[in-house]
Amino acid sequence: MPPNPRRFVFALGVFVSLHSPASGQAVPEAPEAPPAWPVLQDATDMSPLPGTTPLTMDGDISAALVEGADRFLMREIAASLGNRSRHWNRDTSSAEAYVESIAPNRARFRDIIGLRDARVETVDMEFTSPDPESLPIARGESFTVYTVRWPAFREVHGEGLLLVPDQTPVADVVAIPDADLHPEYLAGLVEGAETNFEYARTLAAAGCRVLVPLTIERSDSPHRMSHREWLYRPAFELGRHLIGYELQKVFAGLDYFEHTRDGDKRKTGVIGWGEGGLLALYAAAADERIDAACVSGYFGSRQSVWEEPAYRNVFRLLVEFGDAEIASMIAPRNLIVESSRGPEIVIPGLALNEEGRPARGSLNGKPGRLTTPAAVEVEEEIRRAHRLVHGMQPPWEIAAVREEGTGCSSRAVLELLGALGVDDSGGTPGPRSGVLRDSDNTALRHARQVREIVAHNEWALRESAHVRTEFMKDLDVKSLEGFENSVEKYRKIFREDVIGRFDRELLPSNPRSRGYQAGEGVRSYEVVLDVFPDVIAYGILTLPDDLDLSGAEKRPVVVCQHGLEGRPQDVIGESKFSAYEAFATRLAQRGFITFAPQNLYLGNDKFRLLQFKANSIGKTLFSVIVPQHRQIVTWLGSLPYVDPERIAFYGLSYGGKSAMRIPPLVDQRDAGPFYCLSICSADFNEWVWKNCSTRSKYSYAQKREYEIFEWDLGSTFNYAEMAALIAPRPFMVERGHFDGVAPDQKVAHEFAKVRRLYNLLGIGERAEIEWFIGPHKINGVGTFDFLHRHLEWPVR
């Protein structure tokens, strides 16, 4: 038998011919295979859609949409300053009345900085030493220095130094270092350190007992971000905060002071510079046991807090608090503010390579900077604090100190001593004396502190499922009617407290359109709608050619949402076809109307910083995105050929994230059209775990998506709880086995809770999941069937 004239090898998914034709024999050309994606041609000569005016915007409309949202958020941040007074009801008739009147503000402040975990009941100080033969690590002329460790909350401890005067202490002080200073700097144990950093040593020489806690460093973690940001990320998602954790260590130190005074009624103070200044200010505002606070290298306007590193992001801060408002919660106690040069750092943004992709070695952390506020800015914030408490009897004033250098000056320390009732007219620290702590032990101490917070975050993650169960206990699943009555309470919490809602009406949509493309059986239009001042909605509307625009027939609509760094063009044709399968056009070829909107997640750092701007005023990206979609469905529902009760949402990846957050808030209880079902593709999983785990390779805790974290989601809404907000409307998950979002078992675990809810409500057929062999992409098989069935549109 002659050999087979053609032999093939299959390698890497490509068939390669090994046949060589005989000499002189022509090789027939194989016919060119048609492309897999729908072929679309330019159709900009089409007239605008009926009922719209011509769209004349030039340039990149998607980028303009993001820039407009930025301008809107910046105006809202500016407006927050004038709106804060509505959250306060100060009574300045007396000091006692004032303290009582601001108690609700103090409680809210403690909540947003993450003071959630109960401290240990009894704080016993553990005296340690790097040298087992010598318990004190240093002695000054009138005090002794010890290395110490003390319990704060659960398994988390504070560590640092305790400076004990030789005589009975005249006051107790917690001296908090900046994140780039070890406690040894403050105690005068580092040769060559600036004198202004040695404020603990100065206080101890004046007769104070001084505790110096270690603060988590800004140094890089193994995940290409600072240790502070790495610990902040899961804590924020779980309703905690690195600020809160470090304050708990300070407060536990105060507990130790209280139960070791032997009846003495001496006063308590806090002092700090840089990050320590922030903690000193927040500590005195949150804990009334503190008689006096000194804040150095940190005080000013917080209107640009979004520019600072991620670990200073406090959700809803500017709604109620700037530094002046926080200072006003210290009144009538003593506050010293020193305008000195603070720590100055710059964290660079994302670096892109020639292909526009993240360059190798780029940082994963949020870009940010710390700068020293101008003296006039500090002075204005002090004046603002004075205005807030104007009329208080007796009058209250901040003691202002101005220092050109870094650290806490001797004058600021003297002001604090005076506020604590300590006479230090002749006291001086004296010469340095002692040993420099071994640097290896310093590194080990910091590593222990990091590990303890990591372990606590992991514990809080495990506990969060039980917290959410308790949170959702009022949801009635005994009947569909009872469920619909009880779920609205949770939608309101999701809308107001988790996503954040702007209290303003939508603008008239003023729809503008122009022809875009046409292909087999379809034609499309670019559409722009007004939403809020400077906020627009933009997308591509694709219509089947056989659609009667007169309204004789009303058809269902599928809103097809792109993912991260995507555009409407990605879901309609050749662009990114391997991920999106042109699903908007393919669905239109099946007779559906489709609309592909532009979402805000475009532009890398540009859009990610919008999340931090929004967070500062108690909002998120979805605080803007949800109104955009409300305007979209309102406009779609007004079209004569659209059935307003059959508008579905289908999103991939970040669009799947949108599928969990937008339909719950664009629902049938709102006036006008709504999303009647939702499909989450390539995103559904155990979302809180994905954000908070510091062990899993799937987790965002160590990845570039620094904007992804949502305040206190762990205590409220995981994806099963969000799906409950979509119910009783149909809900589906599209999941590829090779999708890197999460392992299959995490997806199945979370979806099982959704299926159970729908089954209990007697609507089990409305909740589905399709598993397919494939990666992070649209599959378009089970989901298309789901759309046909629940939108009641025949397959053709």
Residues 6+ positions from 10 with CB-CB distance below 8 Å = none
Please state, in angstroms and as integers, the Cα–Cα distance from residue 759 to each residue in 351, 470, 479, 752, following that order: 48, 21, 11, 10
**How confident is the model at residue 428, as a pLDDT?**
55
**How confident is the model at residue 592, as a pLDDT?**
98
Give the residue from 692, 724, 725 showing the smallest Cα distance to 709.
692
Question: Are 100 and 229 spatial neighbours (Cβ–Cβ below 8 Å)?
Answer: no
Backbone angles phi, psi at 756, to 5 degrees: -60, -45
Half-sphere exposure of 306 (CA within 13 A, CB side): 25
**How confident is the model at residue 351, as a pLDDT?**
78
**How confident is the model at residue 796, as a pLDDT?**
82
Q: Which amino acid is at 209?
A: R
Q: Which residues pair with 644 in a beta bridge?
A: none
**How confident is the model at residue 363, as a pLDDT?**
84
**What is the C-alpha separation between 107 and 320, in angstroms, rounded?**
12
DSSP letter (8 states) at residue 538 = E
**What is the C-alpha separation between 455 and 453, in angstroms, rounded?**
5
Kindly give the parts of the chain with pLDDT less than 50: 1-25, 27, 426, 431, 435-439
**How confident is the model at residue 33, as a pLDDT?**
66
DSSP letter (8 states) at residue 736 = E
**What is the C-alpha separation between 113 and 60, in angstroms, rounded?**
39
Please state, in angstroms and as integers, the Cα–Cα distance from residue 244 to each residue in 102, 112, 278, 310, following that order: 20, 9, 12, 15
Strands 522-532 and 512-519: antiparallel
Mean pLDDT rounded to a whole number for the chain: 92
571-619 pLDDT, tens digit per residue, is 999 999 999 999 999 999 999 999 999 999 999 999 999 999 999 999 9
- Structure pTM? 0.93
Please state, in angstroms and as integers, the Cα–Cα distance from residue 98 to each residue in 286, 322, 552, 649, following that order: 15, 19, 67, 51
**What is the C-alpha separation between 161 and 146, in angstroms, rounded?**
6
Give the residue from 138, 253, 151, 135 showing the smallest Cα distance to 185.
138
DSSP letter (8 states) at residue 353 = -
Full DSSP string of 100-119: HHTHHHHHHHHHHTT--SPB
**How confident is the model at residue 185, as a pLDDT?**
95
Q: Which amino acid is at 266?
A: R
- On the 0-12 / 13-18 / 19+ scale of CB atoms within 10 A, 89 is exposed
Q: DSSP E strands: which ranges in 598-637?
A: none
Question: Are 213 and 178 spatial neighbours (Cβ–Cβ below 8 Å)?
Answer: no
**How confident is the model at residue 356, as a pLDDT?**
72
Residues 6+ positions from 475 with CB-CB distance below 8 Å = 483, 486, 487, 490, 724
Question: Are 665 and 499 spatial neighbours (Cβ–Cβ below 8 Å)?
Answer: yes
